[in-house]
Structure 1
Amino acid sequence: MTGEPSDGVTGEPSGGVRAGGGTAGRAAPRVGPRALRKPGRGETSVRDMIGALLILVPVGLLLFSVGNSCSFAPGMPVEDPNSGPTVNVQSRLAEYAVGSAFPLRVPDVPFRANSTDRGPVEGGGTAVRIGYVTPDADFLSLVQTDGTAEGILATESGAAGRGEGPPLMRGTLDAAGLEWEVYQRDGGEPFRIATLPGDPDVRLLVTGSGSDEQFRTLADAVVEAPTAGGG
């Protein structure tokens, strides 16, 4: 049988070309959403860099901060005793001494002073506090006051604010030529209280996580320290 090969569609020649040179089966217009186009490298590089910086910069700052305040020890980080604020105790106590009802002592100790403040004592009187950080990253607080032993113990232990009794007396110890009464709750830090000789009555309270040796270093320094103010 003669004639052009058929492509299986009746009446259409092979190759899809109509007689007269016309193109067979012209494609109909596309209907529906177009396929997503992958952005070129030049379009995404700047955007990706900015996004990466927004993530990496805060992380880097956090790591820098942690690295400056902690040093690595097996099992856990240890606070750097040289990090944090430092205050000029001599300058601060000179300010507090103006108009003070009792003389203030300015101890010279091998600890970093990181805080000072002044406030009222339960039952009357004023407390002047110095906070120290030891080379072992422990803490000691020295309080000088003209309040009673009961009043300063209630104030510093927080017993008055929490509506509970003060720490119990556990005994006495001798340090820097003074007798110190030791008060402590079970598992808590000791509060050591002594009265300085002379008039008016001035009491010292030392508390914190520092060792007994560090307590004695602070006790010796405050007893031997020069005074400022006092009426």
Structure 2
Amino acid sequence: MASEKPRILQNNRDMVWSLVPLVLFCVIIAGIASQCTFSPGGPTSGPIPSFDVDAALTYDARELGFPIRHPDVPEGWTPNSGSRAFVGGGDSSTVGFITPPGRYVQLTQSDADETPLVTFIAGEPRTATGSEDIGGRTWVLYGGEGVEPIWTSDFTQTRIAVTGSGSDEEFRELAAAVGAAEPLDS
């Protein structure tokens, strides 16, 4: 007598019963390793990462060849990220903030021209959809259906861009704060 079932008798039910112990074993291992959690109410917000925006912008002001501003953001805005990148013929300094309602607002300062800067941030070319005057400075708005807006302004040697999931009011607050900030010492 053969100890195995003939191939013709192996069906989906047999396959399911073979996988059940394997799946249970994987769940147990993941639970032991604390790599998964059960959250019946859905995801919850975790802690905001700590980021030293003062040190980052001071360092970028010394290292990059264009004026960097450190805006005095509204109370409750928490800096959470920063980076530097090469942008179409220039450098850029980016810092991000989480606003009290939990939205992300990003500030990018660069010596690249406006079009390459917008393309770098958006990941594709964009067309201007309007403008806004904030503190006597014109901000060009790049928006569209289903995309995060990008606001840019030319500060002579520096192009400033504001983007993210923030509201128009939060964009205005950051744009005003950047406009009021003096360049850091290099």
Counterpart-to-counterpart distance in 2, 1:155 and 1:92: 21
| Partner AA of 2:98 in structure 1 | V
Name the aligned partner's letter for residue 175 of structure 2: A
Contact 1:100 1:229 in 2 (8 A): no
Instruction: Say if 2:54 and 2:70, in contact at 8 Å, map to a contact too.
Output: yes
Match of 1:114 among 60, 64, 80: 80
Gaps of 5+ in 2: 1-27
The answer to whether the 8 Å contact 2:129/2:144 transfers is no
Q: 1:170 to 1:56 in 2, by over 3 A?
A: closer
Does residue 214 (structure 1) correspond to residue 170 (structure 2)? The answer is yes
Mark the CA change 1:170 to 1:55 in structure 2 (over 3 Å): closer, same or farther.
closer
2:48 is paired with a residue whose SS is: coil
User: Percent identity between the aligned chains?
Assistant: 31
Corresponding residue for residue 128 of structure 2: 169
Change (3 A) 1:93 1:60: closer
The number of residues matched between the two structures is 156
Q: CA 1:61 to 1:189, structure 2 compared with 1: closer, same or farther past 3 Å?
A: closer
Cα distance change of structure 1 residues 183 and 90 upon mapping to structure 2, 3 Å threshold: same
Amino acid at match of 1:97: A
The alignment partner of 1:206 has SS state of strand
Q: d(CA) in 2 for partners of 1:146 and 1:229?
A: 16
Q: Classify 1:59/1:134 alpha carbon distance in 2 versus 1 (closer, same or farther; 3 Å).
A: same
Amino acid at match of 1:121: V
User: Is contact 1:149–1:203 with CA below 8 Å preserved after alignment?
Assistant: yes
Higher relative contact order structure (alpha carbons within 8 Å, sequence separation ≥ 6): 2
- Which of 132, 140, 146 is matched with 1:187 structurally? 146
State which structure, 1 or 2, has the greater radius of gyration over its C-alpha atoms: 1
Residue 205 of structure 1 is matched in structure 2 by 161
Distance 1:84 1:103 in 2: 28
Query: Partner residue of 2:105?
Result: 140
Structure 1 pair 57–151 and aligned structure 2 pair: CA distance change class (3 A): same
Residue pair 2:30, 2:36 contacting (<8 A) in 1 also: no
The match for 2:18 is: none
1:206-225: per-residue Cα shift (whole Å, max 9, x none)?
A: 01110111111111111222
Distance 1:179 1:55 in 2: 53
Q: Tell me the residue number matched to 2:23.
A: none
Deviations 1:123-161 (A, max 9, x none): x111100111111111111011111001101111112xx
| Cα deviation 1:80-135 (Å, max 9, x = unaligned) | 5xx1312111111111122321111111213111111111112x111100111111
Is contact 2:80-2:96 (8 Å) kept?
yes
Once the two structures are superposed, the pairs formed by residues 59-138 of structure 1 within 5 Å of their partners are: 62=37, 77-79=43-45, 83-109=47-73, 110=75, 111-122=77-88, 124-138=89-103
The two structures have a TM-score, normalised by structure 2, of 0.74
SS class of match (2:133): strand
What residue number does 1:225 align with?
A: 181
How far, CA to CA, are the matches of 1:54 and 1:181 in structure 2?
A: 53
